[in-house]
């Protein structure tokens, strides 16, 4: 029996029982569909998280002050965190660590900001002209802080779009106006581009001022709260991170590298840990979907066994007119595979629709990967083989004499 004849036979016998074939397929459709959708949603969530981490800057290493240590250390009262990083640390990193693209120390604290009767409480970031490169901040109106502002301790500010909306009204012209930070007047020279985000750390409500101005007029000392370093490329990040750690340990005279008074965070580590969380969830969701796929497979086996019983006389007849075991078993096995495989096709379509719906209503940018589609095809065909094999071999082993007499 050639393939075309075989498929024609299968088409006839499956379409003779349309409703049952459809219901049997449904289990596989739902199983494959939910696996596809779950993986797509998981992948989308992972990409979302990665993108939002990457939007802070690329190849980024962030140095923050760590826990106060030892006897007699001061408790920070002003900046809300330990004062262990200084402007001098930043300068030392800049001059002695290789593979650094740019470095941006910052001094951040929340202050009350006022303008003509409106006021807001927001993050004031004292920083340097390199900051926009390192942290992926763009200026839409005016310009960012320059080194000239830095050297002359100018009282100028670049404000985020949210801060501008709060202080001057939505989309108001802010450049050229002035605001008062901690009762000191600053002139606005630029507005940054909206980045999105919300809550306490909304980057759109930040206000940037020269770090020297912040140190002199607002803080009164030369500590910094964060140093952001951009490595030249992905490969040099580990080396840069190690060099910075060694340099700071040496500068801070700490002999035990296990107890530094600062921490150096590699962006890749953050991405990796976030990815591992989303991966875990994806695996969890996909396994639950996989169970429904298994149940669907058992449904196929159940239907095939029923079919073999129902069609005992037909099998007997086919054998009597010359079909051998191979003809019978290949027909029934291929029937099962056809069912699961077409279930797989419809399942992929269903999963695709589901992930589009999720993308539209949950805002997750879902992605269907080719590998998950291929896997779904493979798995559905495999389920057909596994759950079709037993019924097919039962059909093939039927004795034609008994099968023809079967009532």
Partner 1 sequence: MIEIKNITKTYNTGEMDFQALKGVSFTIKEGEFVAIMGPSGSGKSTLMNIVGALDTPSSGQYLLDGKDVSSLSESELAKIRKEKIGFVFQSFNLLKRTTVIRNVALPLLYTGMPKDQRLVRAKEALASSGFEEDHYYHLSNQLSGGQMQRVAIARALVNNPSLILADEPTGNLDTKTGEKVLETFTRLNDKGHTIVLITHEYDVAMHANRIITIRDGLIEKDENIKH
Residues near partner 1, by CB under 8 A: 1-2, 4-5, 9, 12, 16, 313-314, 316-327, 400-401, 404
Least spacing, CB of residue 399 vs partner 1, in Å: 9
Least spacing, CB of residue 16 vs partner 1, in Å: 5
Least spacing, CB of residue 24 vs partner 1, in Å: 18
Quickly list DSSP for 198-242: -GGG-GGG-EEEEHHHIIIIII-S-B-SEEEEEESSTTTHHHHHH
Contact call for residues 214 and 153 (beta carbons, < 8 A): no
Nearest residue (CB) to partner 1, 148 versus 326: 326
Nearest residue (CB) to partner 1, 270 versus 323: 323
Least spacing, CB of residue 404 vs partner 1, in Å: 7
Least spacing, CB of residue 39 vs partner 1, in Å: 40
The tokens for 291 are 């169970």
Nearest residue (CB) to partner 1, 84 versus 312: 312
Nearest residue (CB) to partner 1, 24 versus 192: 24
Dihedral angle computed from the Cα positions of residues 251, 252, 253 and 256, in that order, rounded to the nearest 10 degrees: -120
Nearest residue (CB) to partner 1, 17 versus 68: 17
Least spacing, CB of residue 314 vs partner 1, in Å: 6
Collapse the DSSP code of 406 into the 3-class scheme (helix H, G, I; strand E, B; otherwise coil) and give the result: coil
Q: Number of helices and strands (H, E) in the chain?
A: 13, 10
Least spacing, CB of residue 6 vs partner 1, in Å: 9
Report how far residue 340's alpha carbon sits from residue 299's, in angstroms, rounded to the nearest whole number. 10
Least spacing, CB of residue 371 vs partner 1, in Å: 39
Nearest residue (CB) to partner 1, 18 versus 253: 18
Collapse the DSSP code of 156 into the 3-class scheme (helix H, G, I; strand E, B; otherwise coil) and give the result: strand
Least spacing, CB of residue 316 vs partner 1, in Å: 8
Contact call for residues 249 and 257 (beta carbons, < 8 A): yes
Nearest residue (CB) to partner 1, 236 versus 330: 330
Find where tokens 């589009």 sit: 356
Nearest residue (CB) to partner 1, 354 versus 396: 396
Q: Give the N- to C-terminal CA distance of the chain in Å, as an integer.
A: 28
Nearest residue (CB) to partner 1, 257 versus 322: 322
Contact call for residues 227 and 65 (beta carbons, < 8 A): no
Contact call for residues 157 and 218 (beta carbons, < 8 A): no
Collapse the DSSP code of 363 into the 3-class scheme (helix H, G, I; strand E, B; otherwise coil) and give the result: coil
Contact call for residues 70 and 391 (beta carbons, < 8 A): no
Find where tokens 């002035």 sit: 178
368 HSE (CA, 13 A, CB side): 23
Short-list 286, 300, 222, CA closest to 42: 286
């Amino acid at each position: 029996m050639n393939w075309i004849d075989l498929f024609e036979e299968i088409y006839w016998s499956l379409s003779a029982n349309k409703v049952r074939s459809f219901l049997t397929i449904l289990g596989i459709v739902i199983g494959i569909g939910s696996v596809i959708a779950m993986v797509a949603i998981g992948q989308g969530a992972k990409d979302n998280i990665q993108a939002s981490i990457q939007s802070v800057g690329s190849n980024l290493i962030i140095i923050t002050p760590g826990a106060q240590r030892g006897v007699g250390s001061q408790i920070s009262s002003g900046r809300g965190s330990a004062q262990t990083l200084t402007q001098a640390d930043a300068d030392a990193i800049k001059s002695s660590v290789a593979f650094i693209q740019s470095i941006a120390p910052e001094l951040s604290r929340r202050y009350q900001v006022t303008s003509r009767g409106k006021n807001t409480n927001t993050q004031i970031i004292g920083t340097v002209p390199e900051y926009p490169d390192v942290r992926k901040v763009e200026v839409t109106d005016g310009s960012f802080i320059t080194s000239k502002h830095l050297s002359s301790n100018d009282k100028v500010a670049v404000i985020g779009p949210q801060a501008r909306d709060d202080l001057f009204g939505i989309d108001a012209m802010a450049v050229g106006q002035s605001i008062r930070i901690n009762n000191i007047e600053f002139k606005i020279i630029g507005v940054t581009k909206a980045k999105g985000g919300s809550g306490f750390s909304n980057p759109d409500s930040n206000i940037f001022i020269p770090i020297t101005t912040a140190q002199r007029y607002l803080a009164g000392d030369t500590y910094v709260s964060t140093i952001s370093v951009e490595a030249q490329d992905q490969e040099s990040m580990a080396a840069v991170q190690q060099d910075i750690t060694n340099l700071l340990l040496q500068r801070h005279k700490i002999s035990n590298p296990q107890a530094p008074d600062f921490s150096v965070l590699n962006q890749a580590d953050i991405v990796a840990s976030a990815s591992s969380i989303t991966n875990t969830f994806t695996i969890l969701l996909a396994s639950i979907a996989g169970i429904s796929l298994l149940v669907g497979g058992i449904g196929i086996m159940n239907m095939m066994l029923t079919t073999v019983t129902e069609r005992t006389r037909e099998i007997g007849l086919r054998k009597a007119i010359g079909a051998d075991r191979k003809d019978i078993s290949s027909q029934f096995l291929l029937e099962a595979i056809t069912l699961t495989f077409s279930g797989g096709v419809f399942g992929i379509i269903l999963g695709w629709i589901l992930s589009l719906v999720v993308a539209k209503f949950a805002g997750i940018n879902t992605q269907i990967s080719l590998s998950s589609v291929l896997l779904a095809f493979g798995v559905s065909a495999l389920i057909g083989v596994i759950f079709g094999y037993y019924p097919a071999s039962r059909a093939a082993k039927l004795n034609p004499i008994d099968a023809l007499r079967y009532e």
